[in-house]
Amino acid sequence: MPENPINPQTNPPAILVLNSGSSSLKFGLFNAAQDDEALLLEGSAEGIGRADGSLTMKAADGTVLLQATHVLQSQTDALQKVASVLAEHGHTRPVAVGHRVVHGGPHLREHQLLTPEVRQQLQAAVHFAPLHIPPALALIDQATRIFGDARHYVCFDTAFHRTLPASASQLALPRRYAQAGVIRYGFHGLSYESLARRLGAELPARAVFAHLGNGSSVCALRDGRSVDTSMGLTPTGGVPMATRSGDLDPGVLLYLMRTEQLDAERLETLLNRESGFAGFTGGEGDMQALERRSAAGDQEAELAIDVFATAVRKYVGAYAALLGGIDLLVFAGGIGEHSAEVRRRVCSGLAFLGLDAADPAGKVRVLHTEEERQIARHCRALLQESAS
């Protein structure tokens, strides 16, 4: 973490963005171009920790620069390989590295420069997202070693939801818990920021965004600002997901603790690794596989899809009531973009709101989210602030 500011006028302007998932690492290299970030190349390391792991890199025009099978033991292992491949292809070292961080706890709610103090605050916030923050910290530490001459920035998925009113952010618990940071934070904020920017002047006053993928959430926006969202204190809440339970009656947890003597660690695994689609189907969390199984008459897969689509539809309906109507519904994320069947099921019964998944020119749109580009935008702005 360099102490001296880097002058973008005298240093290579490339920004490397690292977007880590549970078993993947997406990355993008960006350069400044007029009023936005221009993609130089992008790629991903998939299947981290599995024998079928892979590393793919593509140029901005889609040309495949690298496609190889690798056994990548961890995200840090994947990052080391990414750094080597970037060097092999002759790319200059980045002037800045942007890190997507899912949760920064109650004290880190703004995109900012990574400093030893920020690193310490992230470590102190581990209990807010024990599955997400430790690997994020390991990746940050590895990146600062590999790219020690770059400035490093942390961009938080929770930052977009700082505009939530108290009626949405506060949980019905004794006040001392809110004072300790036990509130609704909301997630997928970088995705929602990206979508709002893409729509620009086309973004109406009342919009609902549905980021649907392995992790899924729904967000209500009024005048481009988040006013409610389905995920809460952690990314486990809201609609059921690939392996996460989504919302539960708290009594379920009490029941499991009493009858099966499950401790916090076992509950964490159950709710985040073994539930959602996987819980219905004996372990299958991939939507494409579920749709194939459903089409072949598999009732477990059909139930998983139906529960998911129904939960999303219920949130859309609730947000219509909150906003006083919906002018635009946007689907994004891997499932939101690529599953016409899920979009159809979500919109089924919402015709009274004017929402029809089969009418692309109407009030329903499908957009590709650009989280990595959004992170690059934030990093560029912060870099320029530090040089001014």
**Is 337 labeled as ligand-binding?**
yes
**Is 270 labeled as ligand-binding?**
no
**Is 213 labeled as ligand-binding?**
yes
**Is 260 labeled as ligand-binding?**
no
Q: Which of 157, 298, 327, 356 is catalytic?
A: 157
Token pair listed for 5: 């500011």
Terminal CA-CA length for the chain: 19
**Is 380 labeled as ligand-binding?**
no
**Is 81 labeled as ligand-binding?**
no
| Amino acid in position 289 | A
**Is 100 labeled as ligand-binding?**
yes
**Is 338 labeled as ligand-binding?**
yes
Residue given tokens 């029809």 in the structure block: 356
**Is 334 labeled as ligand-binding?**
yes
**Is 214 labeled as ligand-binding?**
yes
Active-site residue, 157 included: yes
- CB contact at 8 A, 185 and 161: yes
- Helical H runs in the chain? 75-88, 116-124, 133-146, 166-169, 175-179, 189-199, 250-260, 264-273, 276-281, 287-295, 299-323, 333-338, 340-347, 371-387
- CB contact at 8 A, 230 and 219: yes
Q: What span, in angstroms and rounded, lies between the C-alpha atoms of 81 and 53?
A: 12
Instruction: Name the DSSP letter for residue 94.
Output: P
**Is 70 labeled as ligand-binding?**
no
Coil, strand or helix at 255: helix
**Is 336 labeled as ligand-binding?**
yes
**Residues annotated in a binding site for ATP:** 26, 211-215, 334-338
**Residues annotated in a binding site for substrate:** 100
**Residues annotated in a binding site:** 19, 26, 100, 211-215, 334-338, 371
**Residues annotated in a binding site for Mg(2+):** 19, 371
- Catalytic residue positions, numbered: 157
